[in-house]
């Protein structure tokens, strides 16, 4: 197998690594790290910035995909770090189990998603990292470390930005499998979303609102993922919004064939929680992304900030997605110690213009307590990030302890950790 150093998924970043390897097990990871000055793990390459880059050795996790092992008694599954959520989900579904949540696409690797605090949507569901029960990683010194929930360093080490070591296995919480039906509603007035935010996001197990801000007073689509075993009734109406009569793609004008089925057709959690089907490329790849996670009680103000900048935002935007995430205690989690709402922007691939808009957006959003998503584009500098992420200095100290020689440091971490 010839490995290419290549680019990230979006193609906006060419990795600057000297070489790349793909170890198949923990021994090969340890051997790879022996004597190396700089190294970094790369998962499925879905981040939009240089977080996974290195000037030295890129360690691809694409072969760290050994078959997942379910522990029915403890209700956990142990998976290889490079396993894609879609593959893990299919395995769990075959055995009658489920994860409580997934991100919008199933193509991302488990360890890569967890390292950046990746999340889906749901008032009472935490980020994907919050499902981590244990983490195994190899340090630059070749030591294998296992941290379990409750261990002293655990809360600092889960959302790791790849700074502590190469994660080889992750153990995640599971629950018995369940069914979901998706219902899409069109044209919800923005004012209704602001005034009745809690009612809208509580209308399903996992709710995502999509809008292009081209008609700033209207939210284009609301996707309600209804858990069939839930006590709440099937959502047949959503305020003044119109129930959709055909399947939709979140991006206007795109065919729904890459999307998971809607119109209330029930299916397994793994085939409904992501918006996109594993067998399809999630979108054309010609996009950039940004996301700000805003404390839930400031969402009205945050939506007004974006609406007021719609004139600058809309021409560069493919779609904006609004999702909720339950709080957790993980130090670098964007939902650390508070429930948050994610304002996610899928941009056109016009990076210099997007980066100019981000400065203005952050001027409005960061004072509200917004936290940038670690794996997407943002403008915030270290000082702004320290204000947004109160445990950032503690994390820097933790990274110093596990990686005193700075083997896993890269330009991104130098900017963020100082
Ligand atoms: C189309 C698309 C849709 C997306 N949807 C969502 C979404 O719904 N919600 C959301 O929150 N985000 C979303 N993202 C962002 C994405 O989930 C994150 O960028 C995530 O980190 C990607 O995982 P990856 O495996 O590609 O990681 P990479 O981009 O390859 O790496 C990300 C980080 O993880 C580290 N890492 C990877 N593997 C390991 C390992 N084994 N050990 C240690 N460190 C490791 C890398 O060093 C790097 O720091 C989306 C991205 C795209 C392109």
Q: Return d(Cα 316, Cα 357) in angstroms, integer.
A: 9
Question: Does the structural domain 179-381 have CATH classification 3.30.70.2520?
Answer: yes
Among 102, 118, 254, the mutation site with the greatest number of ligand 1 atoms within 8 A of its Cβ is 118
Instruction: For ligand 1, say whether the CB of 208 is within 6 Å of any of its atoms.
Output: no
Q: Which residues contact 284 (CB under 8 A, 6 or more apart)?
A: none
CA 51 to ligand 1: nearest atom: 49
The pLDDT assigned to 283 comes to 53
Where are the domains positioned within the chain?
A: 69-177, 179-381
Task: Give one word for 417, left, alpha or beta, with left for phi > 0 and alpha for psi -120 to 50.
Answer: alpha
Q: Which residues contact 195 (CB under 8 A, 6 or more apart)?
A: none
**The two structure tokens encoding residue 75:** 């209700």
Q: Quick one: average pLDDT of 238-261?
A: 92
The pLDDT assigned to 96 comes to 98
The per-residue pLDDT for range 26-60, each reduced to its tens digit, is 999 999 999 999 999 999 999 999 999 999 999 99
**Banded pLDDT at 282 (limits 50, 70, 90):** low
Q: Which residues contact 171 (CB under 8 A, 6 or more apart)?
A: 76, 77, 78, 79, 132, 133, 134, 135
The per-residue pLDDT for range 283-336, each reduced to its tens digit, is 556 899 999 999 999 999 999 999 999 999 999 999 999 999 999 999 999 999
Instruction: For ligand 1, say whether the CB of 410 is within 6 Å of any of its atoms.
Output: no
- Count the Cβ atoms, other than its own, within 10 Å of residue 85: 28
CA 46 to ligand 1: nearest atom: 26
Instruction: For ligand 1, say whether the CB of 303 is within 6 Å of any of its atoms.
Output: no
Percent of the chain with pLDDT over 90: 93
Q: Return d(Cα 366, Cα 290) in angstroms, integer.
A: 14
Q: Which residues contact 332 (CB under 8 A, 6 or more apart)?
A: 117, 156, 159, 160, 161, 374, 389, 391, 392, 395
Q: What is the pTM of this model?
A: 0.97
The per-residue pLDDT for range 361-418, each reduced to its tens digit, is 999 999 999 999 999 999 999 999 999 999 999 999 999 999 999 999 999 999 999 9
Instruction: For ligand 1, say whether the CB of 166 is within 6 Å of any of its atoms.
Output: yes
The pLDDT assigned to 176 comes to 98
Secondary structure string (H, E, C) spanning 302-369? HHHHHHHCHHHHHHHEEEEEEEEECCECCCCCCCECCCEEEEEEEECCCHHHHHHHHHHHHHHHHHHC
**Banded pLDDT at 253 (limits 50, 70, 90):** confident
- Count the Cβ atoms, other than its own, within 10 Å of residue 75: 14
Instruction: For ligand 1, say whether the CB of 119 is within 6 Å of any of its atoms.
Output: yes
Among 52, 114, 160, 290, the mutation site with the greatest number of ligand 1 atoms within 8 A of its Cβ is 52
Instruction: For ligand 1, say whether the CB of 42 is within 6 Å of any of its atoms.
Output: yes
The pLDDT assigned to 252 comes to 80
Q: Quick one: average pLDDT of 89-117?
A: 96
Q: Return d(Cα 177, Cα 268) in angstroms, integer.
A: 7
Q: What is the CA radius of gyration of the chain?
A: 20
Residues, the chain: 418
CA 115 to ligand 1: nearest atom: 34
Q: Which residues contact 254 (CB under 8 A, 6 or more apart)?
A: 283
Q: What is the CATH number of domain 69-177?
A: 3.30.465.10
Q: Looking at 61-75, 245-259, 323-337, which range is the least confident one? A: 245-259
Task: Name the closest-CA residue to atom 48, ligand 1.
Answer: 52
Closest residue by Cα to residue 66 from 165, 136, 162, 8: 136
Spacing of C-alpha 12 from chain mean position = 18
Instruction: For ligand 1, say whether the CB of 110 is within 6 Å of any of its atoms.
Output: no
The pLDDT assigned to 284 comes to 52
Closest residue by Cα to residue 363 from 298, 306, 287, 412: 306
């Amino acid at each position: 197998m010839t490995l290419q150093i290549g680019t990230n998924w979006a193609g906006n970043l060419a990795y600057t690594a000297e070489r790349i390897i793909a170890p198949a097990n923990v021994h090969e990871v340890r051997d790879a790290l022996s004597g190396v000055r700089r190294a970094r793990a790369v998962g499925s390459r879905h981040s939009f910035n240089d977080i996974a880059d290195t000037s030295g050795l890129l360690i691809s996790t694409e072969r760290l995909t050994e078959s997942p092992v379910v522990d029915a008694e403890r209700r956990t599954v142990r998976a290889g770090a490079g396993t894609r959520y879609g593959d893990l989900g299919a395995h769990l579904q075959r055995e009658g189990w489920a994860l409580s949540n997934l991100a919008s696409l199933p193509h991302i690797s488990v360890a890569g998603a967890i390292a950046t605090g990746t999340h889906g949507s749901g008032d009472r569901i935490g980020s994907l990292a919050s499902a981590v029960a244990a983490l195994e990683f190899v340090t630059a010194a070749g030591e294998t470390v296992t941290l379990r929930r409750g261990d002293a360093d655990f809360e600092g080490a889960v959302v790791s930005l790849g700074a502590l070591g190469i994660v080889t296995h992750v153990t995640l919480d599971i629950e018995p499998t369940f069914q979901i039906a998706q219902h899409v509603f069109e044209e919800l007035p923005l004012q209704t979303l602001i005034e009745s935010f809690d009612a809208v996001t509580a209308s399903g197990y996992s709710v995502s609102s999509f809008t292009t801000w081209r008609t700033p007073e209207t939210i284009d689509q609301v996707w309600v993922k209804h858990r069939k075993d839930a006590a709440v009734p099937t959502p047949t109406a959503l305020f003044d919004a119109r129930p959709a009569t055909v399947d939709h793609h979140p991006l206007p004008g795109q065919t729904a064939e890459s999307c998971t089925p809607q119109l209330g057709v029930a299916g397994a959690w793994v085939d409904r929680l992501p918006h996109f089907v594993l067998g399809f490329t999630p979108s054309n790849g010609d996009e950039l992304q940004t996301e700000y996670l805003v404390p839930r009680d400031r969402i009205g103000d945050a939506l007004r900030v974006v609406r007021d900048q719609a004139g600058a935002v809309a021409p560069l935007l493919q779609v904006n997605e609004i999702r909720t995430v339950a709080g957790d205690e993980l130090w670098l989690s964007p939902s650390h110690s508070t429930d948050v709402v994610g304002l996610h922007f899928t941009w056109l691939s016009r990076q210099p213009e997007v980066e100019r808009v981000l400065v203005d957006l952050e001027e409005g959003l960061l004072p509200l307590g917004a936290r940038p998503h670690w794996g997407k584009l943002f403008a915030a500098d270290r000082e702004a990030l320290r204000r947004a992420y109160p445990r950032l200095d503690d994390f820097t100290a933790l990274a110093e302890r596990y990686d005193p020689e700075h083997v896993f440091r890269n330009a991104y971490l130098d900017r963020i950790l100082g």
